[in-house]
Amino acid sequence: MPASHPENPFFAASDLPYQLPPFQLIRTEHYRPAFERGMAEQLAEVEAIAADPAPPTFENTIVALERSGQILQRVAAVFFNQASSDTNAEIQTIQSEISPRLAAHSDAIHLDSRLFARITALLDDADGLDPESRRLLERYHLDFVRAGAGLSEEQQARLREINGELSALSTTFQNNLLEDTNASAVVVDDAAQLDGLSADAVAAAAQTAAERGLEGKYVLTLVLPSGQPALASLTDRSLRERLYRASVQRGANGNEHDNHVIAARIAALRAERAALFGHPDHATYVLEDRTAKTPAAVHDMLGKLTPTAVTNAQAEAAKLQEAIGDAFELRAWDWSFYSEQVRRATYDVDAAELRPYFELERVLRDGVFFAAGKLYGLSFTERPDLVAYHPDARVFEVFDEDGSAVGLYIGDFFTRDSKRGGAWMNSLVDQSALMDTKPVVLNNLNLVKPPAGEPALMTFDEVNTLFHEFGHALHGLFSRVTYPTFSGTSVLRDFVEFPSQVNEMWAVWPEVLANYAVHHQTGEPLAQETVQRLLDSQIWGEGFATTEYLAATLLDLAWHELSPGTTVDDVAEFEARALERAGVALETIPPRYRTTYFAHIFAGGYGAGYYSYIWSEVLDADTVEWFKENGGLTRQNGDHFRSTLLSRGGSVDPMEAFRTFRGRDPQIEPLLERRGLTQ
């Protein structure tokens, strides 16, 4: 081990470029000691702040808190990324042990009355602070209040118990889901049953089977949402049904990985915690610190969307039944397949036939990176000399137009049994002028990995997902704030999806699409008329897409508008009644996520917040209109978006940042038009 590194690589800042964690040195046995030392060190730092006999100042209290816990920050960033991206039994054991302890650690800081008294005293005399510093002080005070600093000792004691149990349950929910998702993969004996899948998809299924010791068979793995991509292509209806049922039963199979009881317990504990703060339910508690402010505001917006979305979905269902004829009645596992048939017949667009034009490397370099270069002046250089946390993860150095360094971007694009489902962005190093750090961010996707030497071909939805997640990455890379608390994507939850959704627009921008949509074998560009048909076809299926999303959103709210003391004994019945009351109980359109695999709300940070995607899409659709009105893919436009919004992180009020960018409050009409909800 190099002399510059201590016995544990987390004990000192990395000496690699941009403080990239030294993954080549990190071993599983390093995590527990680093967490132990990190928590102990931060508690000692906090004790020194709280016990300081000197009067509180912004420097000796708030800035000191910002500087505290550096070992803990380093190990947590790496560990929880691995827990999501490349877990194993030992990592899961550590996560189960450490998560409740981290919750208790956070409580020990936030429930320290001496610390809270110092922060409160500063808030009473905040004159002279610059705007970002004043906002940081206000954020600290609010965080302490919302963490229970103002509660009685008895209430705080119960709060600590609730937080510890919630942390453990969320970890168990996530681990159960990963195990059950892997176990629920559909094994196919005969390749003939895979008719409709592309040759590369069949090869990938065979490779997955071989990796699982099932030579001569084929394995269809599951992605996180209810809808599985293969459902759009498989001609074998019985296999479609098997795949669909495997998907929607995850976490609900009555085995050791069942999530029914866990989900209900999480919801009950959150309701009880909200009551400690004087709120009628968890949703009210959460939304108080969001741009939406109240559940009523969210329901008001959703109420404008739901009836038309369901009407459109029912009209789509009628068209699908026409395509089926009298052979059988449309069922949920038929929807994607016949939707593609209708799309192909109406718009002459075959999603499967487009995949050869969307090869990962071209999409990444000539699409995602190209758009970022045109709009923001960025350039990307792959750094194979820098080791990431998994062989599939690739490291790129990012430069500004003037050649100055921006940070590092890590792309981890392929699925594996050790990776949770979905797609996401993480930060390994947060940008901060105070800490003199530049950002290190990563994107995870779950593309099926092709056999060695074969190209990775993407669906258009997967292309869109890559552009979306890269929008989060840009939010992190462009951060130019002083304090770590405000860095990058550290904004209110119902604002965080906005920049990433905006970045999706460049996937279909003519100049960008023409640059990456090239046949991987022939080099032939995707024909302009095909492009136009693709764009025209995007409105088809919006009834389904909006309805499945709204169903999940309304299910989330139902769980988190439960009154304290409410017990849910039958989760399936509760879910069914919630969807019925909300007007989205369509047999052929399940929620995008059902309760037992709704990781966003039970294992992530979206509890009572899944509405954030469409709430942010109001801002997104309005912003897309601004770009179109102002010339689109130009450096001037990019600089304006970057300087007024992307670079500000949480250092300004998010809606103030939007108004600075847009010149006015957002309008909902562009979203309604985009989703075909203007009737």
- Measured between alpha carbons, how far is 68 from 50 in angstroms, rounded to an integer? 13
For residue 91, the model assigns a pLDDT of 97
CATH superfamily name and code, 260-347+542-613: Neurolysin, domain 3 (1.10.1370.10)
Does the structure show a pLDDT above 60 at 391? Answer: yes
Taking only the tens place, the pLDDT of each residue in 566-582 is 999 999 999 999 999 99
For residue 2, the model assigns a pLDDT of 38
Give the burial class of 363: count Cβ atoms within 10 A of its Cβ; 0-12 exposed, 13-18 middle, 19 or more buried. buried
Mean pLDDT of 94-109: 97
Phi and psi angles of residue 206, each rounded to the nearest 5 degrees, phi first: -65, -40
Taking only the tens place, the pLDDT of each residue in 113-146 is 999 999 999 998 888 899 999 999 999 999 999 9
Q: Where are the alpha helices (DSSP H) in 390-527?
A: 460-477, 497-503, 510-516
For residue 538, the model assigns a pLDDT of 86
Per-residue confidence band for 5, with pLDDT thresholds at 50, 70 and 90: very low
Mean pLDDT of 593-607: 96
- Measured between alpha carbons, how far is 275 from 570 in angstroms, rounded to an integer? 23
Q: How far is CA 435 from the centre of its chain?
A: 26
Share the mean pLDDT of the chain. 96
For residue 1, the model assigns a pLDDT of 36
CATH topology agreement for domains 17-165 and 356-538:
yes
Q: Which candidate, 296, 224, 249, 276, places its Cα nearest to that of 603? A: 224
Instruction: Provide the residue ranges of all domains of the chain, joining segments of one domain with +.
Output: 17-165, 184-248, 260-347+542-613, 356-538
Mean pLDDT of 273-288: 98
Tokens of 376: 């923001």
DSSP-derived letter for residue 518 is: B
Per-residue confidence band for 350, with pLDDT thresholds at 50, 70 and 90: confident
- Measured between alpha carbons, how far is 483 from 649 in angstroms, rounded to an integer? 10
Does the structure show a pLDDT above 50 at 522? Answer: yes
Using a pLDDT cut of 70, give the percent of the chain over it: 99
Q: Which residues sit opposite 379 in a β-bridge?
A: 399
- Measured between alpha carbons, how far is 441 from 461 in angstroms, rounded to an integer? 23
Using CA atoms, how far residue 340 sits from 9, 13, 549, in Å, is 51, 52, 19
Q: Which H or E element spans position 443?
A: strand 440-447
Q: Which residues sit opposite 411 in a β-bridge?
A: 394, 443
Is residue 549 within 8 A of residue 227, CB to CB? The reply is: no
Extended beta strands in 212-289, E state: 218-220
Q: Which fold, 17-165?
A: Neurolysin; domain 3 (1.10.1370)
Is residue 144 within 8 A of residue 49, CB to CB? The reply is: no
DSSP state string for 367-424: IIHHHHHHHH--EEEE-TTS--SSTT-EEEEEE-TTS-EEEEEEEEEE--TTS-SS-E
For residue 477, the model assigns a pLDDT of 98
Does the structure show a pLDDT above 80 at 346? Answer: yes
Q: Which candidate, 366, 391, 423, places its Cα nearest to that of 229? A: 423
Does the structure show a pLDDT above 50 at 627? Answer: yes
- Measured between alpha carbons, how far is 582 from 550 in angstroms, rounded to an integer? 9
Taking only the tens place, the pLDDT of each residue in 235-260 is 999 999 999 999 999 999 999 999 99
Taking only the tens place, the pLDDT of each residue in 459-488 is 999 999 999 999 999 999 999 999 999 999
Mean pLDDT of 544-548: 97
For residue 127, the model assigns a pLDDT of 83
Mean pLDDT of 48-68: 98
- Measured between alpha carbons, how far is 169 from 408 in angstroms, rounded to an integer? 34
Tokens of 117: 């008294």
- Measured between alpha carbons, how far is 481 from 430 in angstroms, rounded to an integer? 10
DSSP state string for 109-161: HHT-HHHHHHHHHHHTT-TT--HHHHHHHHHHHHHHHHTTTTS-HHHHHHHHH
Sheet strands side by side (includes 379-382): 379-382, 394-399, 405-414, 440-447, 424-429
Q: Which fold, 356-538?
A: Neurolysin; domain 3 (1.10.1370)
> What residues act catalytically?
469
Tracing tokens 């004996």 back to the chain, one arrives at: 189
Per-residue confidence band for 3, with pLDDT thresholds at 50, 70 and 90: very low
- Measured between alpha carbons, how far is 533 from 346 in angstroms, rounded to an integer? 9
